Amino acid sequence: MLASVLISKRAAQMNIVIIRAFVRMREFVASHKDLVTRVGQLESTQQQHASVITILADEIDDLKRLPPTSPKHRIGFAQA
């Protein structure tokens, strides 16, 4: 966006290079549909694993906490 706002020969050249890069990326994606599908599946699997790992980390944090201490009862006879 900045390259199209600036008024200079270099900014115009950079804008053309950026547009060409996006065109090439679009062509690559269009010609490799199976790769795009596989990447989508990997992202989905990664999100599922990340949620499971988060749950496990929370459970481990809960286990690391010490249980609340109960009041100790003295051993022996109670004096009245």
pLDDT at 11: 81
d(CA 38, CA 72): 60
The structure's pTM equals: 0.43
Question: Is 70 part of any domain?
Answer: no
Same domain, 39 and 59: yes
d(CA 24, CA 21): 5
Same domain, 20 and 37: no
pLDDT at 66: 79
Question: Is 76 part of any domain?
Answer: no
Weakly modelled stretches of the chain, pLDDT under 70:
1-5, 80
The total number of structural domains in the chain stands at 2
Same domain, 3 and 17: yes
d(CA 41, CA 20): 28
Question: Is 50 part of any domain?
Answer: yes
Domain range spanning residue 48? 33-64
Residue 2, C-beta contacts closer than 8 angstroms, at least 6 positions apart: 11
Question: Is 73 part of any domain?
Answer: no
Same domain, 56 and 43: yes
